[in-house]
């Protein structure tokens, strides 16, 4: 594939266009750069009036960067009068007001005025002056109009090639109707509503599993806002397929659930049973493994944990009480704990092995020895009537308020808020 926008596999098409006249250009490099600008925008006829470094010029060829044919076909003249002798319409490019009674126009208007003359097969010219001081008054007097640009009046002087490229660009835009050479490829048709709805359903389902929609009363608004984001995008069918893949990778990991996916309720129960039977696997000093295990359990809640946590975070009675879930306290991980209240909630699974029950009892004893209130709640009660469970927890906390003794002050040493 050709690089940098220059495609030598295509024929060099020469269309009718104005003549570019450079009056006494001082540097060969500027002539070459001007020729390159001309080639960019379909101008091919270059006329030079007394180039100061002689002609032909190797520096001009180097700066032309492939626009050699424009330099090879350039014609030399001794004066501007001779260079424009066969032209019917001439515009003079200058940054200075010459106090002459001539129309002063912009680059776009100059292109419009040149167009009918070129279309009629006449010669029309754009004249550029010297790098140092531009065109003289008498040279401007030979033109039909003055073309200038809206530039900073404190720094109005452009490099010669810069001035050429602006006029050449306006000409080419006029000649081609401003058509761009390429557009974004339409590789995939727009996604139909059926595909969008399937994507939204999957997204909502996975966000529900990680308890994204909180508080519950804002769920509807959050879903509508989320759907509107994708509707504004006007996604293609390929876009939606890609987004499906992204969600799958986030949920299941690159190679499935074993690489970090979220477990369903039954799988989470099995995970906790296995951990309870084997012990929680850390000591008070082994902070990093304990914290990593807490994050794993927090990411994979059981159904009872998910229900209870969702309702607790939306119940005004528990706002500000500092409850956290799956948080290390010493060598154990509590289901729910509030360090400010020195209270822990222990969810008792419906079916529990002897090993798991022993681990849970050891955790409860450990917490009670350190001044924690342990509230045991059966998982099936949460699933059956969570509001009643919340009333029980709230009543227990209110009935036995925590004293502000030394144990409360020591809470950060026992717990890891992660």
Same domain, 235 and 328: no
Task: Look up the CATH number of the domain holding residue 121.
Answer: 3.40.1280.10
Mean pLDDT of the chain: 84
Radius of gyration of the chain (CA): 40
What is the reported pLDDT for 261? 53
The answer to whether the CB of 44 falls within 8 A of the CB of 24 is no
Confidence of residue 412 (pLDDT cuts 50, 70, 90): very low
pLDDT at position 12, please?
65
User: From CA 341, how far away is CA 408, in angstroms rounded?
Assistant: 8
Identify the band that residue 149 occupies on the pLDDT scale cut at 50, 70 and 90: very high
Q: Is residue 14 domain-resident?
A: no
Task: Estimate to the nearest angstrom the gap between the alpha carbon of 334 and the chain centroid.
Answer: 40
pLDDT per position as a tens digit, 39-54? 999 999 999 999 999 9
Residues 321, 228 share a domain: no
Same domain (yes/no): 26, 160: yes
Give CA angle at 26 (25, 32), nearest 5°.
65
Same domain (yes/no): 307, 369:
yes
Domain that residue 376 falls in: 265-414
Q: What CA–CA distance (Å, rounded) separates 261 from 244? A: 15
Query: What is the residue whose two structure tokens read 């200075």?
Result: 96
What is residue 372's DSSP assignment? -
pLDDT attached to residue 254: 54
What is the tally of helices (H) and strands (E) in the chain?
Answer: 18, 11
Determine the Cα–Cα distance for residues 167 and 126; give it in Å rounded to an integer. 8
Would you say residue 381 lies in a domain? yes
Residue 11 lies in a domain: no
Asked if residue 321 is part of any domain, the answer here is: yes
Burial degree of 376 (CB within 10 A; 0-12, 13-18, 19+): exposed
Query: How many angstroms separate the CA atoms of 146 and 100, rounded?
Result: 9
Q: What percentage of residues in the chain have a pLDDT greater than 70? A: 83
pLDDT at 258 over 50: no
Report residue 408 CA to chain centroid gap. Answer: 47
pLDDT band at 286 (very low <50, low <70, confident <90, very high): very low
Using CA atoms, how far apart are residues 184 and 415, in angstroms rounded to an integer? 56
pLDDT(398) > 60: yes
Q: pLDDT digits over 124-146, tens only?
A: 999 999 998 899 999 999 999 99
Residue 182 falls inside a structural domain: no
Residue that finishes a domain, picked among 243, 259, 275: 259
Residue 30 has what pLDDT?
A: 96
Predicted pLDDT of residue 110? 97
Q: What is the pTM of this model?
A: 0.52
Q: How many CB atoms lie within 10 A of CB 311?
A: 16
Number of domains in the chain: 3
Do both 242 and 277 map to the same domain?
no
Burial class (CB in 10 A: 0-12, 13-18, 19+), 47: buried
CB atoms under 10 Å from CB of 330, counted, come to 19
pLDDT over 60 at 406, yes or no: no
Domain-embedded: residue 184: no
- The verdict on residue 6 lying in a domain is no
> What's the CATH number where 277 sits?
3.40.960.10
């Amino acid at each position: 594939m050709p690089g940098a926008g220059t495609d030598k596999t295509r024929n060099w098409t020469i269309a009718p266009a104005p003549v570019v006249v450079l009056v006494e250009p001082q540097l060969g490099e500027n002539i070459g750069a001007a020729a390159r600008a001309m080639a960019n925008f379909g101008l091919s006829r270059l006329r030079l009036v007394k180039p100061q470094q002689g002609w032909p010029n190797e520096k001009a060829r180097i700066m032309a960067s492939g626009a050699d044919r424009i330099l090879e076909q350039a014609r030399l003249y001794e004066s501007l009068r001779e260079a424009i002798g066969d032209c019917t319409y001439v515009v003079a490019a200058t940054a200075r007001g010459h106090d002459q009674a001539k129309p002063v126009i912009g680059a776009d208007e100059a292109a419009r005025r040149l167009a009918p003359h070129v279309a009629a097969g006449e010669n029309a010219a754009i004249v550029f002056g010297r790098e140092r001081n531009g065109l003289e008054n008498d040279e401007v007097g030979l033109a039909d109009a003055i073309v200038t640009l809206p530039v900073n009046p404190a720094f109005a002087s452009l490099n010669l090639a810069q001035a050429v490229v602006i006029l050449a660009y306006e000409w080419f835009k006029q000649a081609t109707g401003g058509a761009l050479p390429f557009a974004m490829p339409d590789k995939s048709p727009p996604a139909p509503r059926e595909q969008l709805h399937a994507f939204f359903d999957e997204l909502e389902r996975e966000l529900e599993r990680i308890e994204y929609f909180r508080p519950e009363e804002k769920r509807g608004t959050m879903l509508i806002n989320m759907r509107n984001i994708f509707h504004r995008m006007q996604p293609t069918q390929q876009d939606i397929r890609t987004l499906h893949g992204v969600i799958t990778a986030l949920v299941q990991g690159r190679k499935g659930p074993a690489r970090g996916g979220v477990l369903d309720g039954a799988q989470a129960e099995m995970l906790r049973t296995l951990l309870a039977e084997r012990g929680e696997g850390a000591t008070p000093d082994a902070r990093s493994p304990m914290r990593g295990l807490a994050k794993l359990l927090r990411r994979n809640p059981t159904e009872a944990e998910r229900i209870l946590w969702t309702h607790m975070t939306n119940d005004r009675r528990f706002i500000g009480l500092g409850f956290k879930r799956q948080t290390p306290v010493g060598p154990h991980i509590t289901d729910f704990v509030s360090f400010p209240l020195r209270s822990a909630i222990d969810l008792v699974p419906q079916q529990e092995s002897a090993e798991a029950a022993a681990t849970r009892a050891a955790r409860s004893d450990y917490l009670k020895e350190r001044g924690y209130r342990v509230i045991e709640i059966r998982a099936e009660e949460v699933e059956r009537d969570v509001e009643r469970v919340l009333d029980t927890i709230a009543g227990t906390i209110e009935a036995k308020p925590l004293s502000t003794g030394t144990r409360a002050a020591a809470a950060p040493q026992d717990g890891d808020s992660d």
